[in-house]
Amino acid sequence: MTVATDIARPRRSLSFGAGALLLGLCFAAACAAPFVLNGYGLYVLTLTGVFALVALGLNLLTGYAGQISLCHAAFFGVGAYATAILTQKAGVPYLLSILAGALFTAAVGAIVAVPAMRLRSLYLAIATLGFGVVLQKIIFEWRSLTNGGGGLALSPPAIAGYELGASGLYFLTLAFVMLGLWGAWNVSRGRTGRALLIVKESEIAAGALGIPAARFKVIAFAISAFYAAVGGGLFAYLVRYIHPENFSVGLSIAFLSMVVIGGLGTIGGSIVGAAFYVIIPELLRGIKDAPGLVFGLLLVIVMVLMPQGLWGLVRRLGRRT
Amino acid sequence: MIRELMKATTRRNVLAAVIAMVAFPAAAQEPIKVGMSGPFSGGLSLLGQSVRDGVEVAFGEINDAGGVNGRKLQFIAEDDGYEPMRTIASARKLVEQDKVAALLAVTGTAPSAALLPFVTESKTPLLFPYAFAHALTTPTNRDVFTTLPEVRVQMRVLANYILKELKQTKIAAIYQNDDFGQDAVAGLEERFGKANVPLVKLPFDRGTTNFSGVVAQAKAAGVEHVVFLGIPKDAALVMREANNLGWKPQFSGHNALGDPQTFQLAGPLAEGAIAIAVMEPLDSDKPAVKAFLAAQKKYKPNTKPTTYSMHGYQSGKLFAEIVKRSGGKTDEASIVAALEGMKNYDTGLMAPLTFSATQHAGALSGAIMKAQGGKWKIISDWLSAD
């Protein structure tokens, strides 16, 4: 099989049955995890889930619609702060706060998309970079609400009076990841997903087909920000101490790397990418002084040997069996 | 025949081991595990590695002298890249997987603050972080103990000195407009307010390089003393700007100003400036400092002693002292009790430390340092903030 056909027919590589089996196995393993792992392992796994949600959203924007965003850490932060403030200061129930925070952040995302309607590639990246810095600065300066550089310490999360422990939060995250997967799958297979793919290829072609590129870009930004904010709402209560400096450009670049390492434009890739990004550095802890170096080299190796990302590899293996 | 001989030797070895275990129970005891998390990679890696080196030097010294109560100290340091979410992962790994008795010298203000919920719920002592956060000890957290005085305390010491020794009353604060700067100004105002001395407050944004506005304002206000609260690089810029205007006020600042770096950046303009010392300077003549420098040269010859490694070294020594005081017990209650019973303990590297059930910030004092001949010299005793 040539490379050309490989790219043209990526979707047929895993049969539906094999895909469902894989998903089922992963889900079963994920459900069993809290009974096997200690608190440390569970924390790392929950963090993976949180980042996977953000990556799923960013993948819709970058993988499907071809728009680069360097402000996803800020969306993540707005979601985290909105959820934290709603629950701690306004006494809104946790789940409702996550939803409200995510809707608010989606609106912010739609506003970011306004310059995105005119900009592309590097220019868009720089504009979103600026927006991320502005959002971070607002969180920092709005001390009365966010406590600025003092950070915000949170008490344990509760749902309907029942305090969520580490396992509870893990299962909540898992539920959101499943919802997120389902949502991303639906968007990507539906009219919006097809429109986004055409916008990515050529906005002129999209216009000729009667697809309003600007509108779909706004939609992509809003959905993507929604995902990031849900992740943020979970993150806030996972670490229970949020600080404006958590949400810097470095994290935005990390999110982008997750999507690219996992495989641009693939839903499974977002999950695998997030797992790679969170779990590999933990496994490299044993190497004294050099974990950063080894991790950096691994990134290069993955990109050179697997241009379609880790998910591309999973697929190729799946096809061979 | 040979087999018989081997059997005999093994049996004898086993016997010897058993005798050793009975006769010297200490040698067979498990080591005491202590954990640390800090930035060993990324932009602040120098800070994290320095603190870690210091602890390793102290533990090396203690173990060579037979350990504490016959038990060796084992140090496990984890990298977090100064990212609080990774600090939590480090801490959880150390406590739940490695079963450390305490977290020692965790490096970074935000990373340490992020550990508060975890250490409180897991009942893990968080000892002597390299951090200056108000929230670590106010209100008192059962499991958190600090040695470094937070910036608010430092400013109260400085304000006392300005009022009592320098007898100056026209004072301005040029400060970084963030959490740190505002915290510091709150400390100054607390003391100056009591003496009814007004404070001219001139904030600047972190990252700015143009200080002409704030310096001109301070000069116009007829100020004789400028408290600068920011990084040494910006302090140098402010000193240059004042010099350009032909204006020579007395400059002062918190512990970051009292760094050799200030001379590299500001040159002779730094002369005469005063800063708060939270620990002894590296070129001090105190025997404890000399001993620390010699120990680092012996146990980590390839590393350079810094004030960070001095903090790590002192933390390591303090931990051994606590274990000694608790009679070798390393459970949370014993460690907390031993620390809360520590009164006026002098490490020789900083102000004497006193902890109590209600006060977990060990040092509420600092000393005054003055820039003289391209060096920082301590010119006062350890002064209390109140």
Contact yes or no for A279/A46 (Cβ under 8 A): no
φ, ψ (nearest 5 deg) of residue B37: -130, 140
Q: How far apart are CA B178 and CA A143, in angstroms?
A: 10
Residues from chain A contacting residue B96 (CB–CB below 8 Å): 38-40
Assign B378 to helix, strand or coil.
strand
Residue A115 lies in a domain: yes
Q: What is residue B133's three-state secondary structure?
A: coil
What pLDDT is attached to residue A8? 42
Dist. CA A94–CA A113, nearest whole Å: 28
Residue A149 — pLDDT band, cuts 50, 70, 90? confident
Pairing of strands B144-145, B126-127: parallel
Question: Long-range contacts: B59-62, Cβ < 8 Å, 24+?
Answer: B59/B34, B59/B316, B60/B295, B60/B299, B60/B300, B61/B295, B61/B299, B62/B316, B62/B317, B62/B320
A5 assigned to some structural domain: no
Q: Could you give the domains of chain B?
A: 31-149+284-355 (3.40.50.2300), 152-277+368-384 (3.40.50.2300)
**Percent of chain B whose predicted confidence (pLDDT) is above 70:** 93
Share of chain A above pLDDT 70, in %: 93
Averaged pLDDT, groups of 10, chain B, 386 residues long: 49 50 55 94 85 96 93 94 91 95 92 92 95 86 94 93 92 88 90 92 87 93 94 91 93 89 88 92 90 95 91 96 93 95 93 93 91 89 87
The pLDDT of residue A223 is above 50: yes
- Token pair belonging to A105: 């952040």
Torsion of CA A220, A221, A226, A228, to 10 degrees: 110
Among the partner residues A38, A245, A282, nearest to B110 by beta-carbon distance:
A245
Please spell the DSSP secondary structure of A193-213, one letter per residue.
Answer: HHHHHHHHH-HHHHHHTT--H
Question: Within 13 A of A298's CA, how many CA atoms are on the CB side?
Answer: 19
Q: CB distance B89–A245 less than 8 Å?
A: no
Distances A205 to A123, A215, B369 between C-alpha atoms, Å? 21, 15, 70
Give the Cα separation of A308 and A314 in Å (integer): 10
* Nearest-neighbour CA in chain B from A249: distance (Å): 13
- Look at residue A98 in the predicted model and tell me its pLDDT: 96
Per the structure block, which two tokens stand in for B156?
A: 């109260």
Number of domains in chain A: 1
Whether residues B178 and A149 touch (CB distance < 8 A) is answered with yes
The torsion angles phi and psi of B367, rounded to 5 degrees, stand at -120, 160
How many Å apart are CA A279 and CA B376, to the nearest integer? Answer: 46
> Could you tell me the pTM of the whole model?
0.84
Interface test with B, best of A163, A235, A239 (most B CBs within 10 A): A239
User: In the structure, what pLDDT confidence band is assigned to residue A9 with cuts at 50, 70 and 90?
Assistant: very low
Residue B3's pLDDT is 52
The average pLDDT across A97-109 equals: 95
Q: What is the pLDDT of residue A285?
A: 82
What is the tens place of the pLDDT at every residue in B120-178? Answer: 999 999 999 998 888 888 889 999 999 999 899 999 999 999 999 999 999 999 998 87
* Measured CA angle at B181 (ends B175, B187), to 5 deg: 105
In angstroms, the CA A237 to CA A247 distance is 15
Q: Which of B40, B93, B152, B177 to mutate to test the interface with A (most CBs of A within 10 A)?
A: B93
| Residue A281 forms part of a structural domain | yes
Over residues A103-123, the mean pLDDT reads 86
pLDDT at A319: 72
Pairwise CB contact (< 8 Å): A292 & B81? yes
Using CB atoms, pick whichever of B84, B85, B179 lies closest to residue A149: B179
CA distance A170 to chain B (A): 15
Residue A134, Cα to own-chain centre: how many angstroms? 21
Residue A143 within any structural domain of the chain: yes
> Does residue A291 carry a pLDDT above 80?
no
**Pick from B100, B148, B211, B184: nearest CA to B353:** B148
Chain B positions in Cβ-Cβ contact with residue A289 (cut-off 8 Å): 40
In a domain, A22, yes or no: no
What is the CATH classification number for the domain harbouring A70?
1.10.3470
Q: Which ipTM was obtained for this model?
A: 0.84
Q: Do A282 and B78 touch (CB under 8 A)?
A: no
Does residue A26 form part of some domain? no
Note whether A246 contacts B85, CB cutoff 8 Å.
yes
Is the peptide bond prior to B139 cis by the omega test (within 30 degrees of 0)? Answer: yes
Q: Which of A148, A241, A281 sits opposite B84 (nearest CB)?
A: A241
DSSP 3-state percent helix, strand, coil across chain A (nearest 5): 80, 0, 15
* CA A129/CA A55 separation, integer angstroms: 17
Verify whether the Cβ–Cβ distance A149 to B113 is below 8 Å.
no
Please give the residue range of the domain that contains residue A217: 37-320
Q: Which residues of B touch A (CB under 8 A)?
A: 40-42, 78-79, 81, 83-86, 88-89, 92-93, 95-97, 110, 113-114, 116-118, 134-135, 178-180
Give domain status of residue A20, yes or no: no
Q: Is B13 exposed, middle or buried (0-12, 13-18, 19+ CB in 10 A)?
A: exposed
Please list every residue in chain A whose beta carbon sits closer than 8 Å to the beta carbon of residue B203.
none
Cα A300 to Cα A122, A269, A275, A297, B54, distances in angstroms = 21, 17, 17, 5, 34
Residue type, B245: L
Percent helix, percent strand, percent coil in chain B, to nearest 5: 45, 20, 35
Condensed to tens digits (0 to 9), the pLDDT of residues A234-267 reads 999 999 999 888 898 889 999 999 998 888 888 8
Q: Provide DSSP, B99-113.
A: --SEEE--B-HHHHH
**Is residue A296 pLDDT above 90, yes or no?**
no
Residues of B in contact with A40 (CB under 8 A): 89, 92-93, 95-97
**Which chain B residues have a beta carbon less than 8 Å from that of A243?**
84, 110, 113-114
Distance (Å, whole) CA B157 – CA B110: 24
In a domain, A25, yes or no: no
Residue A288, pLDDT score: 64
Q: Across all residues in chain A, what is the average pLDDT? A: 86
What is the structure's pLDDT at A303?
A: 81
Q: Taking a C-beta distance cutoff of 8 angstroms, is the pair A287, A171 a contact?
A: no
pLDDT at residue A16 above 80? no
8 A C-beta contact, residue B366 and residue B276: yes
In angstroms, how far is CA B132 from the centroid of its own chain? 8
